[in-house]
Amino acid sequence: MASRPTRRQPPAAGKAGARASADVAARRYDPAETRSRVLEAAYMLFGKHGYSATGTADIAREADVSEGSIFYHFGSKHALLIELGRLHGEKMIAAMEAGDDIAGLSFDVTINRCFDFCEVHNMWDEVGDGDCHAKTAAGKHNPDSAPFFEATREVVVDWTRRHIEALARREGYELPNSAITAQLVFALVGAALQQYFADGTSTQDQQRIRRETVRFLAAATLSSAASQ
């Protein structure tokens, strides 16, 4: 009686599983993807709990990476905070542009989008002490959060300079110094945000602050150009 041939198990499933595991591992340890996950995790945790109350172990756990990966990619928690400031500035810019051409954006559009962004993303205030109702000034004077705000300022001021230069070209006038004008715009909007989020500011007053900020920026920019 002839014996039946022994069936060999197809190796495809095992190889496919190994390849899938390798792909997952490659995605998990891809440097750019790992760095991005750490930034997003830290952005969320610093915004929720504050800088001082969030440790690198918390960030690593949230990002699903080793704690050593944070120091490998950023060097220190302080350096990570600077990168988060840049990320915050980039997110704010993306919200102000919303896919529109920078030259076609009026102050009315960009300032209202900026305020809308800050209402949702309270990193502007929260990174200092974790209080979502903290005043902007308190955060700015917290030495721990100073690198965050400086990095945000650098990114947003550069975009503001390019924005007002684009507006000037569109309207056919020249600004005496767009770099200084951008710094002043940033300072004014920061002061307006401080009032906007201050305890006790009514919804009516918040709308007034928005309108006055837009009106002042438009008038000041045109006045600066006319004074040449």
pLDDT in tens, the chain (228 residues): 555 555 555 555 555 555 544 454 544 568 889 999 999 999 989 888 888 888 999 999 999 999 999 999 999 988 999 999 999 999 999 999 999 999 999 999 999 999 999 988 865 455 544 333 333 433 444 667 788 889 999 999 999 999 999 999 988 888 778 999 999 999 999 999 999 999 999 999 999 999 999 999 988 776 655 555
Q: Give the pLDDT of residue 135.
A: 37
- CATH match for 81-226 among 1.10.3720.10, 3.30.465.10, 2.40.10.170, 1.10.357.10: 1.10.357.10
Amino acid found at 1: M
Whole-number Å distance between alpha carbons of 52 and 144: 8
- What is the rounded distance in angstroms from the CA atom of residue 43 to the CA atom of residue 218? 33
Domain residue spans in the chain? Answer: 81-226
d(CA 203, CA 206): 5
What's the half-sphere exposure (Cβ side, CA atoms, 13 Å) at 106? 11
Q: Which two structure tokens, joined as six digits, stand for 226?
A: 């006319």
Tell if the pTM clears 0.85, that is, is over it: no
| Other Cβ atoms closer than 10 A to 140 | 18
Per-residue confidence (pLDDT) for residue 186, from 0 to 100: 95
Tokens describing residue 22: 């390798």
Q: How many CA atoms lie within 13 A of 173 on its CB side?
A: 15
